[in-house]
A and B are shown apart, each in its own frame.
Chain A
Amino acid sequence: GESVGLHLPTLSVQEGDNSIINCAYSNSASDYFIWYKQESGKGPQFIIDIRSNMDKRQGQRVTVLLNKTVKHLSLQIAATQPGDSAVYFCAEKTPGNQFYFGTGTSLTVIP
């Protein structure tokens, strides 16, 4: 089966600092990747996505980097705010349209 893993289960950052959350995926044929944010008691919320033909995509305060050589995905959050505290996880989509999700990294922003 698929294996989508996150390098660190928890991450604490000072408010205003940048956060970097990492993810490893296993299927080199996966063609689409998503980062989700999940707050306690809520469903996952889409943050940003990237297709396999790209290596970087920027959104508002967030950037996703894709390194297909080492099958690695990262999420960068600029100027992290207390409202960013949540669990973040990545997902990969295989050509068969199956989604596989990582276990998540818990981000805590220290005021």
Chain B
Amino acid sequence: ETGVTQTPRHLVMGMTNKKSLKCEQHLGHNAMYWYKQSAKKPLELMFVYNFKEQTENNSVPSRFSPECPNSSHLFLHLHTLQPEDSALYLCASSQASWGLAGAVAKNIQYFGAGTRLSVL
């Protein structure tokens, strides 16, 4: 148990569906991340939130919409996905602090178990 909980663990959805992935961390961290892991590809960072503010969006298509209502919760809203979006979606958290350039996340990350998404 890493202290990062993701739900659901498995999700099958059609291309016209709307669904949301949820992540909750109980570690007192203030930085949260969404990653995508496809077969035979490295982990791809999608979004970063430091102190509830989105600080990174790695050219992710708009059919993925993140939401961070507080430092413990992170959502990924999905709509009109494509079959190639099928993957393992991992949430992670870490401790962040304020640096000269703003929020700086410490880089030891704790991952949730992931949501395995299949888009039909």
Q: Is the pairing of A and B real?
A: no
Point out residues on A near B: beta carbons under 8 Å: none
